[in-house]
Structures are given as structure tokens and as C-alpha cells.
Amino acid sequence: MPKKLAFYLLTFAVSFVALAQTKPILPYKNPKLSVEERVKDLISRMTIEEKAGQLNQLNGGEFTGPAKNDPGQMAKMKQVKEGKVGSMLNVTGVVETSAIQKIAMEESRLGIPMLFALDVIHGYSTIFPIPLAEACSWDLPAIEKNSSIAAKEAAAAGIHWTFAPMCDIGNDIRWGRVMEGAGEDPYYGGLVAASRVRGFQGKLDDDAHLLACIKHFAGYGAVESGREYNLTDFSRPALWNKYLPPYKAAVDAGAATLMNGFNVLDGVPVSGSSFLINDILKARWGFKGLLVSDWGSFSEMISWGHAEDDKDAAMKALNAGSMMDMQSQTVIRFLPELVKEGKVSMQAVDEAVMRTLEIKFRLGLFDQPYKFSNPEREKKMLFTQENRSIARDAARKSIVLLKNEKQTLPILPTVKKLALIGAFADSKDDMFDFWIAKGESKNAVSVLEGIKAGFEPNAVVSFSKGYNIDGTTSEILIKEAVEKASLAEVILVNIGISGKMAGEDRALANPAIPEAQIQLLKALQKTGKPIVAIVTSGRPLILTEVQPLVSSIVQCWILGTETGSAIADVLSGQFNPSGKTVMTFPYAVGQIPVYYNHFKTGRPLPSEPDGDMSWKSRYRDIPNEPLYPFGYGLSYTNFTYSDFKLSSSSGSKGGTLIASVNITNSGNFDGEEVVQLYIRDLAASIIRPVKELKGFQKIKLKKGEKSTVQFTLTDNEFSFFNADGMTKLEPGRFHIFVGTDSKNTQKLDFDLK
């Protein structure tokens, strides 16, 4: 090479290196600096419009709320380019999410990465039992594992953030969203929520976990009459002792985000409740993460009658401590004006924006914006056999045996003729609820497929519809069903309601078994054969008419991809059912809301069976008692409780009380039992429920095996919150209960000095 050329090349190379070294990396792009330093630098460079952009979340895919005022995809992509969108929801898949991320990173002025969010409620591609069903397993490690698998699948598909777990305490089966929660108990609901947060998030230090989102803060499950989006109006003691504990447990478990509810607290829509957000969530609980609104909930403050217009709604939400605005676009439109007019402080804006940016830094998206965008990994991680096998196990554990007379179940190999009846058993369209992310019911195992796979060829399984999916039936359908049933030794009837009737915007005024199915059962009962009712539903239904018509009732909820396999595993005895319901099954709609942790009233029913019933708190036409109580669930074996004792009959504050009980598997099958511990505070400064769950242990016992279960109670178990949310521990008499459910218990007294 001529010397001159070599000289020029060398000069160029040296000057290039020098230039490159002199062009400083902007601090917020410098991975060597701390997150705090990077956030501080970035905030200082942002315009108010770009700050509003970080608080603007738009729907980018399927609508999971009203489509009104949606600006359309083109306008959204333009806003992404302008740095006016901080997050999108409902965009799924590596290709789709990374394409939008590229626009944000390369075409917007500051190149701030986007967060992609999705309702990964009970699975992404492999669908697990609905949360209400999963909670009936009382298996917290399994619940955590299920959420970690859902996270792994969704993260492989480019998702950063799930809108789960729902922590709303629900005790009204008319409300469709009870399927998303963990039932009626605050203590257990908190344990489940914390397990799901840990499962979804892990340490948030890899590409296989998601930001969790505790929702819907707070008290949405108290909708009046169970009617969706209706008024919620409850006392401060109920707020502190019933509705808030699961959210607090999830915050304490490290949940990165929360979501506002659609509801109201003390007459203020919760998106605009400074008491709830600034005073409780931020100040008292010390929450440092991000709060996102529910779909349009900022704007809905107008309809509630709390905000004049969208600008007023944005002001009220931000001044109450709300932060990111899902889909109402009030913040992106009015924040600059509100700050200019001094109606929202720049400090409040910066705090909300900093929390958003910190989360993006924590996920590593500034340095690796495509960290969750690996197409090969996406193909490899979804709907794997291993995930399906774990989903099947989760499904089996979720099933609750409500009745089993004459040992009809399990169906032993000696049974050679089975009749399966029920259109739902063969309808994959009706298997799943709305919240199934990218799960496909066509890939799921139907009840019919599961029963055939589980019992053929040893037994012959006939099938007939018995009724129509639309809730009607006919003489022909019933006649055909009865004919097939008459040839069988055991009749299996899949009854219930479609999975499509579970979830948001699915309130039912009459959550009962359709009349056509009752008609079918009455006709089948005439055959004199044992009938097993397989109930599939996203909520407890009124089973009072079903109960006397059948030998066995198996509550199967909505179990996800492995529905049929799990049901067959239980009916065949391959898996001995161990589920316990986390929601009360009402005797009638008129009882609703009916729940175990109710209050005694000033005129309770007499405890003795033939006591005086006059002038008592009761109905004249139905009993006060529900059909099946919280914590109830049978096994194929029997568990005997004995030697219940307390380490002392009295104690003082700061002390420890040990409750112990012996459990014997006195039946013919190995099995699992959920031993439950409840307390009652007999007299306190505010009235306390007749029972409160304060502990449980799920134990495995081989047939004939015996075990001693111990519970440790400290001040925490005897305390409650007063109307101001202060923890109170008051001396007095307590009842301590242990038992197999919230009704069948043994009781001892304990005096706290």
C-alpha cells in the first residue's frame, strides 16, 4: 500500500476514534450510571408533551373495553413517533411488539422504550384454571408456579406487563368477575395474590417474567346487586378489614404496579380518590411503583358525576395521585394546559413520569429494548407439553367435590358402560372465558374428549346432547339422553353455563342452572341409575334443585386447556379431589350476598335446633344457611379430627398460642385435606365476624395415616383495623375453631388478657 494512502487511512482512523470518543453518551443512555441519575437526566430533557406521553397508554390490539373515541391505528403510530405514547396494551407477539418498539426507539426524539401490557389472567397460550378455580386448590406453591409459566410464555411473546392478579374480594355470584379473584376471604385472598405476584415477577431481572398489576384498587368487588360497574358503598371497617388486605399483601409482595378500579369510595370515583391513593397507597403503604387507570376510568368520572369534563377528570385523577391513563387520552390532551394553568403541579407530573421510567429501566428496556423479542424463543416456549402437564395438575387440584353419595365416585374399572350427557361437554367454544390471552379453545381437551380418553376402551362411553347450548331442550333431546342413560351403569351429566358468561360485563341476575338442564336431570333420575353432575361454570351457581336429583356433584369451574383430562383424572380416581370452595354456594339468589365471615346480628337464630325462631334475623321462605359453605369440599376418603387443644386457655399481648389437632385418614383412599383455622372475637370496639380464617395447612395422608397439625397464633391473628385503619388488639374472649370447612368445626375458648 502506497505510503501516502496508508498515512491518510491512519489519520482518518485516528480522528474517527477521537471523534467517537469525544461525542458524549447522553447520561440517560449510559448504562454505567445509576437508574436515579439516568432518570433525573432524562426528565430534565423532556418536554411537557413528552412527559404526558409517558403517562399515556393506548390500546393497540383487540378491544377489552369500549371502542369509543379510539383514534385509530395510524394516529396511534404517529403519536408513538412523537413520543406521546408510553405504553400499549393488547399488542401481542414478538413481531408486532418489536415493530412498534422500533418506531419508539428510532423515530421519536428521545428514544424512550414502550411497555407492552396484556391481561394474562390465567395463562397466555397454555390456559390454566380461572383464578377462582385455582384458589380452590389451596396450593400456594402451585399457584405461584402457574403464574410463572404464564409469565414465561407471555414474556417470550414480547409482553412486559400483565394486568393481574385481581385482588377484589367478591362474595356476590351475580358479578361475573368473581372468576378473576380468589374468593371471599381477605386473609386467603392476600396469600393467593402474593403468590401470583411472585410467580409473575420473579426478581424482574430476566426476560421470562412480567410486571404484575394489582387490580382494581380498591373495592370493585362490592358492586351493588352484583351488577357490573355499579355503585360500591361500604363502611370504613369493611374497607380496612375486608377489601384492602389482599391489595396490601400484594404490595408487600413487591407488586410493581396497580390499577385503579371503575368504582367509588366514599362517594369519590377511586381514580380520583386522594384518600385511597395519596394517603393510603403512597403515604401509609409506601408504594413506589406505577398506578395505571382501568380502561377509560379517568373519563368515567364525568359519567359518575364527579368531573365536569375530560380536562377536569385528568386534573382530579392526577391530583389524587393517579398516574398512567389507559385509553381515555385525557392526560395526553390536557396535561400541558393543566400544568400551564397551575392546576396540576409539575412535581406531581414528574413523580408519575419518574415511576414509569424507573420501571422501564428496571426491566432493562433502555439498554435492551428488544430483550423480550426473540422469535425463536417465542416458538419454543409456548404451549409446551411440560406447560400443559402442569396446567392439568392445576386443573385437577381446582376441582371441588360437593356431593358423593353411595360412593358413586370414583368410577372403578369394573364399570363398563358410561353415558355422558350435555352439549357443553362437546362444545369447545363454550369452554373458555373472555380472559384467555392467546389461548385457543380448539387446542383444549373437551369434557367428552377427556372422558373418552380416560375411560375407553375399558368402558364404552356414549354421548348425547340432552340440551342445547342456548339453554333450551326438547322432548327428542331428552328422550335420546334417557335411552342412552338407560343402557349405562353410571350417568355423567355436564351441566352449567357457558364460559362466555364468565368475567367482565357478565353479571347475571339469576346465576342458576338453566331450567332445561333441571328438566333433563329429572328425566334421567327416573332411570334409577347413579348420576354424576359435572358442573362447568366461571362462578358458583345455585345448585339447590340439582342437589336432590343426583348422587354426586363435581364443581369443575373453567379449567382451561386440560379441562377434560383433569375431570377424567378425578372421576376415575387417578386423582382424589382435594379442592375446597373459596366462595359460598348460596341456597337461593335471595340470600346473596351470603358469605361465611358474616356478622351475628342482634337477633341471631337460636343455636339449639328447636329454639324459638320468632323475632329473629331470618327469611320466612328459605334457610339462612347456604347450600355449601366457604372452605367446603369432599374427598373420596374421610378425615377424622381429634384431640383439638390449645397450649393455653388464656394469654396476654405479645404471647404465642399453639393450636393443635390430630387428623386421621380413616377412609380407603390416600388423600389431601385442607385443615382450616378460624377465630371469633366475641366482643370488640367494632363488631367482628362470626368466623375469620387465620390459618390453613394442606396435608397429604395415606389411608390409615394420622398426623398432628399445629397452628401458631400471635397478636397479628387476634388484631383488626378500626374505622381509621389503625390496628387494634383488644383483650377479651375469643373462640378458636379448627375444621374441614367454615361450618364443620370444633371450638375452644381463649381469653386474651
Q: In this complex, which beta carbon is closest to ligand GLC, that of residue 76 or of residue 465? A: 76
Residue 577 near residue 633 (C-beta atoms within 8 A): yes
Instruction: Please tell me which residue in 119, 294, 430, 569 is annotated as part of the active site.
Output: 294
Q: In angstroms, rounded to a whole number, what is the distance separating the alpha carbons of residues 713 and 677?
A: 10
Shortest Å, Cβ 464 to ligand GLC? 38
Residue 433 near residue 130 (C-beta atoms within 8 A): yes
Query: Among residues 30, 64, 660, 707, which is the contact residue for ligand GLC, using CB under 6 A?
Result: 64
Query: Among residues 51, 174, 215, 688, which is the contact residue for ligand GLC, using CB under 6 A?
Result: 215
Q: In angstroms, rounded to a whole number, what is the distance separating the alpha carbons of residues 598 and 723?
A: 18
Q: In this complex, which beta carbon is closest to ligand GLC, that of residue 119 or of residue 358? A: 119
Shortest Å, Cβ 65 to ligand GLC? 4
What pairs with residue 468 in β-bridges? Answer: none
Residue 250 near residue 314 (C-beta atoms within 8 A): no
* Strands 531-536 vs 552-555: parallel, antiparallel or unpaired: parallel
Shortest Å, Cβ 201 to ligand GLC? 17
Q: Is 506 in the site for ligand GLC (CB under 6 A)?
A: no
Which set of grid coordinates corresponds to residue 719? Answer: 388484631
Query: Among residues 153, 504, 692, 717, which is the contact residue for ligand GLC, using CB under 6 A?
Result: 504
Residue 352 near residue 292 (C-beta atoms within 8 A): no
Specify the residue for cell string 374472649: 733
Which set of grid coordinates corresponds to residue 628? Answer: 355449601
Which set of grid coordinates corresponds to residue 209? Answer: 417474567
Query: Among residues 294, 300, 562, 681, which is the contact residue for ligand GLC, using CB under 6 A?
Result: 294
Q: Is 369 in the site for ligand GLC (CB under 6 A)?
A: no
Query: Among residues 65, 422, 530, 586, which is the contact residue for ligand GLC, using CB under 6 A?
Result: 65
Query: Mapped to the 3 state alphabet, what secondary structure does 165-202 carry?
Result: CECCCCCCCCCHHHHHCCCCCHHHHHHHHHHHHHHHHC
Q: In angstroms, rounded to a whole number, what is the distance separating the alpha carbons of residues 722 and 315?
A: 32
Catalytic-residue membership of 207: no
Shortest Å, Cβ 189 to ligand GLC? 16
Shortest Å, Cβ 89 to ligand GLC? 6
On the 0-12 / 13-18 / 19+ scale of CB atoms within 10 A, 533 is buried
Site string for ligand GLC, 622-661 (x = CB under 6 A): ----------------------------------------
Restricting to residues 159-178, name those near ligand GLC by CB under 6 A.
163
Q: In this complex, which beta carbon is closest to ligand GLC, that of residue 214 or of residue 567? A: 214
Task: Give the type of residue at 27.
Answer: P
Q: In this complex, which beta carbon is closest to ligand GLC, that of residue 437 or of residue 738? A: 437
Q: In this complex, which beta carbon is closest to ligand GLC, that of residue 504 or of residue 741? A: 504
Shortest Å, Cβ 363 to ligand GLC? 19
CA distances from residue 492 to 291, 529, 552, 574 in whole angstroms, order as listed: 47, 10, 9, 17
Q: In angstroms, rounded to a whole number, what is the distance separating the alpha carbons of residues 531 and 466?
A: 14
Query: Among residues 50, 119, 139, 358, which is the contact residue for ligand GLC, using CB under 6 A?
Result: 119
- The one-character DSSP state at 220 is G
Shortest Å, Cβ 226 to ligand GLC? 16
Count, residues near ligand GLC per rule CB under 6 A: 9
Query: Among residues 39, 55, 58, 89, which is the contact residue for ligand GLC, using CB under 6 A?
Result: 89
Shortest Å, Cβ 118 to ligand GLC? 8
Q: Is 207 in the site for ligand GLC (CB under 6 A)?
A: no
Q: Is 295 in the site for ligand GLC (CB under 6 A)?
A: yes
Output the furthest CA–CA distance in the chain (Å, rounded).
116
Integer Rg of the chain from CA: 28
The two counts, helices (H) then strands (E), for the chain are: 22, 26
Burial 704-740 (b: 16+ CB within 10 A, else e): eeebebebebeeebbebbbeeeeeebbeeebbbbbbb
Q: In this complex, which beta carbon is closest to ligand GLC, that of residue 401 or of residue 502? A: 502
SS3 101: helix
Q: In angstroms, rounded to a whole number, what is the distance separating the alpha carbons of residues 737 and 693?
A: 9
* Strands 732-739 vs 671-681: parallel, antiparallel or unpaired: antiparallel
Q: In this complex, which beta carbon is closest to ligand GLC, that of residue 470 or of residue 505? A: 505
| Sheet of strand 417-421: strand arrangement | 400-404, 552-555, 531-536, 490-496, 417-421, 460-464
Shortest Å, Cβ 504 to ligand GLC? 5
Shortest Å, Cβ 753 to ligand GLC? 46
Residues taking part in catalysis: 294
Q: Which residues bind ligand GLC (CB under 6 A)?
A: 64-65, 89, 119, 163, 215, 294-295, 504
